[in-house]
A and B are shown apart, each in its own frame.
Chain A
Amino acid sequence: MHDTMQATINGTPVTFQENDTILEAARRGGHFIPTLCELSDIDHAPGTCRVCLVEIIRPGSESPVMVTACNTPMEPGMAVRTRTSRVREMQRLQVELILADHDQDCATCTRHGDCELQDVAQFVGLRQSRYTRPDWTRSRPRDETSPAIIRDMGKCIRCLRCVEVCRREQGVDALVFTGTSLQADIGMRNNLSQGASDCVACGQCILVCPTGALAERDETETVIDFLDDPEVITVFQFAPALRVGFGEEFGLAPGVNVEGQIITALRTLGADVVLDTNFAADLVIMEEGYELLGRLKEGRRPTFTSCCPAWVNFAEKLYPDILPFVSSTRSPQQCFGALAKTYLPEKMGLDPKRIRVVSIMPCTAKKDEAQRTMFRQDGARDVDVVLTTREFARLLKREGINLAALEPSTFDNPYMAEYTGAGAIFGTTGGVMEAAVRTMYSVVNGRELERIEVEALRGFESVRTATIDLGGDIGEVRLAMCHGLKGVRAIVEDVLAGRADFDFIEVMACPGGCVDGGGHLRSKKHYQPYARKRRDAIYEIDRQMPRRQSHENPQVQRLYKDFLGQPLSHLSEELLHTHYIRRRTEIKQTINDIWRDITMSTLVHSEFDAAEPAASRKRKE
């Protein structure tokens, strides 16, 4: 343990330890310092925004020096002042400078009202913006090539939080810092577009971006079009995690289950059919469970789950060799979509051509998933549009609906709305595994697990492992649950190198699972602050359910009886399973390409700098 040391902040004594920053000490002591780039939840203090200015007087010195609080260490005897007029003036000027090349069209910005830059401008008392240079703003790129994520550099303040999350939390490392001076921005590795890049569309970067620079592609307009069109029959589904992470937006406590209010809200909007993705989650367990048991009997191991589309992207783009190990079962969203245009209209006597499926997901990658070519029938998408939680909130606001004021209601559809506790826990890391274990155990043994809540599978570590005895002719199985792609990468590499010994591996790309998905509500200045509350709420739903095993879902049973036959039937294979494609990008370049791109003033071989770009960047596979 280090010694505690003394200093003052605004004249008040504070204690601190070696290498504590001024910001940490100030926060502990209740002194507010405006910050922008810093994000303590991910231990990120790149020192780029320079807003968190304070004055310090070091012992033995008379004159105050201006430093940034977030990355300057406390020193014994130091006097820190956080609100002298000079500090306030310089903080103000700093924000004013940030705005100089910022596309300040707040009224049209997706982040309006939820923007940390707007906040900080208020915190520092900014009342003017003298240095705005539209010519600088205009030259900044906007990338709309990804179906899921829009990267608008005109709003980027170069806080590098996105790079940090993508690199350190997700381990995808798709984002780079690119350019210098006024051209400095966030770009994709190897100069690719967002769509063509290694980005897996997980959306975690959006959760940390303080401004509107990173955002989901907004598709609320399309949904309103559908609702408005009398010819269209809208079928809505919403994800397991949605109901436990949506109330905050309307002032309810985090982690409150608002399933009933969401149903009412959708009906108020004019939705024709309101259904639940949880139903499809139960169905996935049937298909995936049987698939896994089959593969185990054949000795094919391990099997990775396939319900997370960012994970599927990750596997296809970064580790295509792992694809044979990925379950062929479609995600709940896509299973739902396929049935909503076949089984559902058949049962309800509707014209499938008039049906439009809208899903509401805490996930940006679902947008990407829904437009995959294999998820179409006769050219029409199974899921027509995917709204993230944030867009859904926007949609309700556009329609003047206050969720908090709504009376809860319940599902009434007899075909695709009922769910069990197993389907409900799909939203959290470990949930898919637990649901699968419950059903597989029962399939193998003809009886239920004694303890339905499998504690061994729950937890927060990014990679967890467990051994479960499934009994019967299967016996012990080795399981792994990983969430956050960084841990996933480690497991995938282990599997490919033959170092890992697992039968079944659950993967969720977002740290925490879908309850902390990249399409969920974001929190200013925090990264996933409600992870625990949302997770607890999910487990609570499970506990309250009369049926807690997927195979007990009466509507799933009915679906098999009336339509599919049995798990892995021919029709199931056609509607509920899929295949993957190798999408790895091979970059071919010469030293010319690299030198041409390098900015520095000490080039020896600057002749390469001016050379014509060789058509040497190629995509393979």
Chain B
Amino acid sequence: MASVIYGVWDGKIYDNRDRDIFEVAPLPELAGFDFFNEGNVIKAFLGDRGFFVFEPGVDLLDALVRYAAKAAEESCGKCTPCRMGTSLVRDKLAMLHRERFDTGLLAETEMLARHVRQTSLCGLGQSCMTPLLSALDHFRDMLAPAPAPARRDDGGRDHDRRGDDRQAANGQYAMHYVTAPCIEACPAKVNVPRYIDYIKDGKPSHSLGVILQKYPMAATCGRVCVRFCEQACRRNMVDEAVGIKVLKRYVADLEQDISRQWFSPDMVCTRQPDHLRVAVVGAGPAGLSCAYHLLLKGYPVEVFEARDEPGGMAASGIPSYRLPKEVLRGEAEIIGRLGGRIHYNARLGRDYTLDDLMGRGFKAVFLGLGCDKGRLLGVDGEDPDLSGLQTGIDFLLKVHECLQGNGCMTLGGVVVVVGGGNVAMDCARSALRMGADEVHVVYRRDKTDMPADIEEIEAAREEGVVFHFLTNPGRILSEDGRITGVELVSMLQGEPDANGRRSVVARPDSARVLRCNEVIAAIGQQVDEDSISQGDGVRFGRRGFLDADGTTLSTARPGVFAGGDCYSGPSTLIKAMANGLKAARSIDDFLHYGRVRFFPRSRMRRIIGDFRALSNESIETPVENKYRVRVRELDPEVRKRLFDEVEKPISTEEAYEEASRCLRCYRIYSVITESPVPDSAL
């Protein structure tokens, strides 16, 4: 736990300079803050809301020079004060530090810094002078030069693009991290404001390039992502979140044809030795993302997929009215274009074991198996062999096969879908499209508790799906092996628990019967246990998912890594793809160092997460309301019988307009450490 010697954060001043360090009570928010990486003391921290000094003898001015240099580098260059001011402040601070400390120059620097903070257009300029100004306001004396030995002449100007500033002055090293609320909220840490900027700038290829740094499936993500970023978007405080997802779809669709030519095996810069082969099991989002990153790193990669097509749940689960299959397929082709091979109909546990893979010369394996086994309801009268009863996953797979022309099913009459998540919504809306006369969704809690996106619920309602909230199936009714109905019970809400969710209990004597022909259980998914055999050396965790280390994704068996739904439980596309990236990095390290190295950026994320706990987000000045682009949709009456894509693309003009809504909430965070922060591959 770190003890603050002095500093300012979010307007609060901490000054313990006149005390002995052991007398200072550590800040509980900064638990685990002593070292950045092992043995590397964090001497100071600078960020958008101030700075902290944790060690005696820190050269604060040097830290500020480095921070200012990063700010000057990060300035987008559009607005005057930030473009000019950050560079001028950097140069003046460097001069103060290196050549002559003179109070006149310091006052001029301060004037410029205030100007940058008060008049800059975006979050970067508005926040990047805060450490300097809070030092000037409260700890001016700490900026005067100590009677120190001669300093190294680096002026804080040299820094590589990863923000790891290798040059030391007085035993101080800096590592910078630039982020924004939307970036931090994104599991894959996509640089959202950057790709939005590139749209504004008129460079859609670059915009897509920013996204492709993180995963290959941009058009897919631009259609079905659950948008953690938009929830965190600061624009919510003005009017509505920036349409981050729709902009992603826009660039991915716009560049779709040419981006196919962007990838080829010979564009990869570094080739890894031929024997460092990697096997990826499962061609879902996690597996594809892992394979993509490894291929870009130059590894020979082979993918083994149980089914006959790539995409995992994005292909067989997510219905085509939300994600047209050709979009997904086009993006999965990138693997082949990069020289990766995908073997289809190759199921781990049935066709081969992990030992087989290792025996065939694979040095590392990534397991991206997903959760492709549905769960039944577990109520009376439920017999897996009943005709008319199926899990949501199985149902959607059948719908998918049917649309692919592989043997069609017929659906008619009344369909009851049990569950409140997106899978349930997909089942209900697909059932309508397959010809059901009536579709009912039965959910045990209330509407506001539904995990499904509100947009999905609304879309289903518009299409005519009937919802029964606070209702649970009590019993399945059947005759001659066919479902005839389901007994429903009303639920009563109890007191909210710690998470604000209210427990529910069955209301006595509320049972009633809903006649139906089909029951679809969309209440959860599991990993197929048959995939993993005893000898594989991979363990299941408590919740029935694969066990792996949270930071490295390595399983109990060395060289075997797991990620995506099979590790986290049913989750989201973006989390699965983020896991794929993380695993690729771990595998890269494993194959080169036999272990997974320290990853500075992850560490930085945890640190700023802690600091965020000390900050309040706000918007200080009035901002013009500009409402979010409305995505046009197919008419519910038309679309409810079609699997055509419901959401229409936005126009170029709308994209420019939407992009201009982003406030660019960039922030720079720096740690000052005692020794250099180790380099790491990704």
Contacts and interface: CB of A to CB of B under 8 A. Distances in A.
Interface in A563-602: 587-592, 594-595, 597-598, 600-602
Nearest to B660: A46
Given A65-B621, A176-B201, A602 B80 contact: no
B189 interface: yes
B185 interface: no
Contacts of A601: 73-74, 161-163, 176-178
Interface stretch (B112-120, B370-378, B438-446, B501-509): B112-120
A605 B269 CA distance: 10
Nearest to A609: B161
A348 interface: no
A594 B205 contact: yes
B264 A73 contact: no
Nearest to B163: A601
B38 interface: no
A597 B213 contact: no
A397 to B, nearest CB: 32
Contact of A176 (B120, B202, B213, B267): B202
B624 A606 contact: no
B622 A67 contact: yes
B617 interface: no
Given A73-B622, A101-B84, A603 B205 contact: no
Contacts of B177: 601
Given A68-B119, A131-B84, A181-B72, A158 B78 contact: yes
Interface in A209-236: none
Contact of B77 (A51, A97, A182, A592): A182
B88 interface: yes
B516 interface: no
A21 interface: yes
Contacts, number: 190
A184 B194 contact: no
Interface string A1-42: 000000000000000001101000000000000000000000
Nearest to B193: A600
Interface string A81-96: 0000000001001100
A158 B269 contact: no
A177 B212 CA distance: 21
A272 B430 CA distance: 81
B83 A181 contact: yes
A67 B202 contact: no
Contact of B80 (A66, A72, A98): A98
B307 interface: no
Interface string B198-219: 0011110110111011100000
B85 interface: yes
A47 B119 CA distance: 10
A102 B632 CA distance: 45
User: Interface centre among A49, A131, A602, by most B CB within 10 Å?
Assistant: A602
B119 A590 contact: no
A175 interface: yes
Given A67-B621, A602-B178, A609-B161, A184 B83 contact: yes
Contacts of B84: 97-98, 100-101, 131
Given A90-B115, A97-B84, A178-B201, A594 B581 contact: no
Interface in A90-120: 90, 93-94, 97-98, 100-101
B627 to A, nearest CB: 10
A183 B74 CA distance: 11
Contacts of A47: 79, 121
A603 B162 contact: yes
A591 B202 contact: no
A50 B269 contact: no
User: Interface centre among B75, B115, B212, B293, by most A CB within 10 Å?
Assistant: B115
Contacts of A67: 621-622
B199 to A, nearest CB: 11
Given A590-B263, A602-B191, A66 B119 contact: yes
Given A182-B87, A189-B202, A594-B209, A602 B189 contact: yes
A48 interface: yes
B73 A181 contact: yes
Nearest to A595: B209
B625 A73 contact: yes
Nearest to B652: A173
Contact of B213 (A58, A131, A605): A605
A188 B263 CA distance: 24
B262 A589 contact: yes
Given A65-B621, A71-B624, A50 B205 contact: no
A604 B213 contact: yes
A181 B76 CA distance: 5
A607 interface: yes
Given A66-B119, A177-B201, A58 B178 contact: no
B78 A46 contact: yes
A78 B625 CA distance: 17
Contacts of A602: 178-179, 183, 189, 191, 194, 213, 601
Given A67-B622, A601-B163, A602-B189, A97 B176 contact: no
A153 to B, nearest CB: 12
Contacts of B210: 598, 600
Contacts of B637: none
A50 B79 contact: yes
A614 B261 CA distance: 14
A608 interface: yes
Nearest to B71: A181
Contacts of A53: 119
B118 A97 contact: no
Contacts of B72: 181-182
A320 B314 CA distance: 40
Contacts of B118: 66, 90
A591 B656 CA distance: 23
A167 interface: yes
A21 B624 contact: yes
A594 B267 CA distance: 12
B202 A175 contact: yes
Interface in A272-291: none
B296 interface: yes
B622 A58 contact: yes
A591 B296 CA distance: 11
B270 interface: yes
A182 B90 CA distance: 13
A173 B191 contact: no
A487 to B, nearest CB: 14
Nearest to B84: A97
B80 A49 contact: yes
Given A94-B119, A603-B162, A158 B213 contact: no
Given A163-B202, A601-B74, A93 B115 contact: yes
Contacts of A66: 118-119
B217 to A, nearest CB: 14
B88 A131 contact: yes
Contacts of B267: 590-592, 614
Nearest to A75: B622
A598 B214 CA distance: 14
A544 interface: no
Contacts of A591: 209, 212, 259, 262-263, 267
B642 to A, nearest CB: 24
A179 interface: yes
B624 A19 contact: yes
Given A601-B177, A603-B162, 5 more contacts: A65-B620, A68-B121, A73-B625, A160-B78, A189-B202
A-B pairs with the 6 shortest C-beta distances?
Answer: A184-B77, A176-B202, A594-B209, A177-B201, A97-B84, A591-B262
26 contacts: A47-B79, A49-B80, A65-B620, A65-B621, A67-B621, A71-B624, A72-B622, A72-B624, A73-B623, A73-B625, A97-B80, A97-B81, A98-B84, A158-B77, A158-B78, A177-B201, A177-B202, A180-B76, A180-B77, A181-B72, A590-B264, A594-B205, A595-B213, A598-B209, A602-B213, A604-B682
